[in-house]
Amino acid sequence: MREITEGFTLEDDPLWYKDAIIYELHVRAFYDSNDDGIGDFAGLTQKLDYLQDLGITAVWLLPFYPSPLRDDGYDIADYTAVHPSYGTVNDFRAFLREAHRRSIRVIPELVLNHTSDQHAWFQRARRARPGSPARKFYVWNDTTEKYKEARIIFKDFETSNWTWDPFANQYYWHRFYHHQPDLNFESADVRRSLLAVVNFWLGMGVDGMRLDAVPYLYERDGTNCENLPETHQFLKNLRKKVDERFRHRMLLAEANQWPEDAIAYFGSGDECHMAFHFPVMPRMFMALRMEDRFPIIDILAQTPPIPETCQWALFLRNHDELTLEMVTDEERDYMYRAYAHDPQMRVNLGIRRRLASLLGKDWNRIELMNALLFSLPGTPVLYYGDEIAMGDNIYLGDRNSVRTPMQWSADRNAGFSKASPHRLYLPIVIDPESHYEAFNVEAQQNNPHSMLWWMKRLIAMRKRYKAFGRGTLEFLYPENHRVLAFIRRYQDEIILVIANLSRFVQYAGLDLSAFRGTSPVELFGRAQLPPIGDAPYFLTLGPHAFYWFSKARHLSKEFPLVSIRPTLVSPRFRSNTRKKTRKPTRCRCRSLPVSAWNKSGNRHQMPYWRT
């Protein structure tokens, strides 16, 4: 066990992130403890019991540092403090201690690529002498002609990656918003300063860090300024320093790239431990809309193997738009037509909607997509509120449509805050289809058939099997392209996953002959199906249904591989004036012919009954 904050312990597993269920949240959106309309660390600490009950094992915190909040905290003004609205560093320590006491790990965000233009480093640099160490903290030029090959990421808001600074009398470089100048990683002072930031938070006891926008750290003329070798060398040095000083900590790379580029951020297992698999997410939505497994199989076929100690992070939705950067133009047009018919739903190259809204509040589709998220290779990341099917507000600016306050109850302000509704950092969702009075934690906790309880069961089931987080992947190819089927294997665990991507009933014949003599056991209900033979194993699936099966040894007494002619005993009730008596009546039965697909000698026949 690893000693952590003030004597508490966590499981001493260097690969803990492979089995994790990560819950992403913004402190200001979760719970307001002091009634100022803004969530804070004291409020988040109060809600840790809810997260423990949900079953998640790690919390990813969006930036909580001092900031002008022009980009929701990604414009950092001080790396080693807490925004006053969220509390103090001591409040963070208390939260960290209580999270660890509940065996919940904490993964804060670290924005490496840029700072706010209000950061002391930039204020000093813009007034420093050109060529001085202070000036070299950022990237400057006299014209905008440098790095012309680099794309503009936020095309809806920016027309150039260069912005003129009247104090410096030069242009400064930025890959994102103009108020977020990029740090100059050619400067040794910058690298040392950021390493000190990493040491500060890891030394406090956090379990990992999400590294934002890592592909853009370095610039070089004649390139697109992404994924440069210097970036990977910096990450190798960072990983080495972290491993030398800290035990079992994790670095998660945010690299919105094609698989062959994103995999480079693992290095040879000596860079980041984890990286987001951005391209698989939109293709899951495409496969669902097209009712065809091809988009999922195709993108995973393009994904190279990763080092043994590394792991992909998967998600359906997060705090940003559903990004469509890593798709073709035709695929992007299709996604817009399918999921964002209203232009108000679009931002940059993506769709700013929550999961439940994207799927039209169709519970079968929501369950199916979550089941795929939790069963495909990688660690699932759940966005706050998606466990209760929270809605969005597409009329809020930028990406705030999916960043509204957590909905705790049907009380005022959805139980998030006792402040005046006008003081809330963003308004509560009151759309009739997603109203907080219907979609809130309290209401769903009291209903064992709710989405929240379903998510609890899904999380608990995944945690029972390491094959989901660590196992290999083997696709099956039934003739029906509307059915996705694959096998996850780890040590003695074998899990069969089968999903119907169609809105109609479908069937699939699976080649499971390698498991002949065993019987599939459905994991949730523990129902044992008939044993597998040499012939294709046929299953029928309801609309958007999914199954997770493990295998159990065939018991001949329960499922004999012979022709059967059972006798049914059905109760019949006869009454008289004194009492009711139950008298069994024997019924005759016949057997149906052997199924056409069952060509083996094992005649497993299903009876029908005639009284």
Indicate if the pLDDT at residue 605 is higher than 90.
Answer: no
Please say whether the beta carbons of 274 and 251 come within 8 A: yes
**SS3 (DSSP) at 296:** helix
Angle between helices 363-375 and 451-464 (to 10 degrees): 20
Indicate if the pLDDT at residue 574 is higher than 50.
Answer: no
Mean pLDDT, to the nearest integer, of 244-259?
A: 95
CATH class of the 13-111+361-370+379-464 domain in this structure? alpha beta
Mean pLDDT, to the nearest integer, of 409-418?
A: 97
- Under the banding of pLDDT at 50, 70 and 90, the label for residue 551 is confident
Q: Note the pLDDT tens digit of each residue in 285-297.
A: 999 999 999 999 9
Indicate if the pLDDT at residue 465 is higher than 90.
Answer: yes
Q: Which residues are catalytic?
A: 212, 254
Tokens of 335: 């996604």
Indicate if the pLDDT at residue 1 is higher than 70.
Answer: no
In angstroms, the CA 51 to CA 192 distance is 36
Mean pLDDT, to the nearest integer, of 382-410?
A: 94
Q: Note the pLDDT tens digit of each residue in 184-221.
A: 999 999 999 999 999 999 999 999 999 999 999 999 99
In angstroms, the CA 58 to CA 250 distance is 12
Segments making up each domain of the chain, as ranges: 13-111+361-370+379-464, 120-173, 470-553, 568-610
- Under the banding of pLDDT at 50, 70 and 90, the label for residue 389 is very high
| Topology of the domain comprising 120-173 | Oligo-1,6-glucosidase; domain 2 (3.90.400)
Range 470-553 has CATH code 2.60.40.1180: yes
In angstroms, the CA 409 to CA 423 distance is 18
More reliable by pLDDT, 417 or 153? 417
Please say whether the beta carbons of 91 and 42 come within 8 A: yes
Indicate if the pLDDT at residue 446 is higher than 90.
Answer: yes
Indicate if the pLDDT at residue 323 is higher than 90.
Answer: no
Mean pLDDT, to the nearest integer, of 228-248?
A: 97
What integer best gives the mean pLDDT of the chain? Answer: 89
Choice among 98-102, 359-363, 463-467, 563-567 with the minimum mean pLDDT: 563-567
> Model-level pTM greater than 0.95?
no
Tokens of 443: 């209401």
Q: Quick one: pLDDT at residue 156?
A: 81
Strand-pairing partners, residue 60, are 24, 107
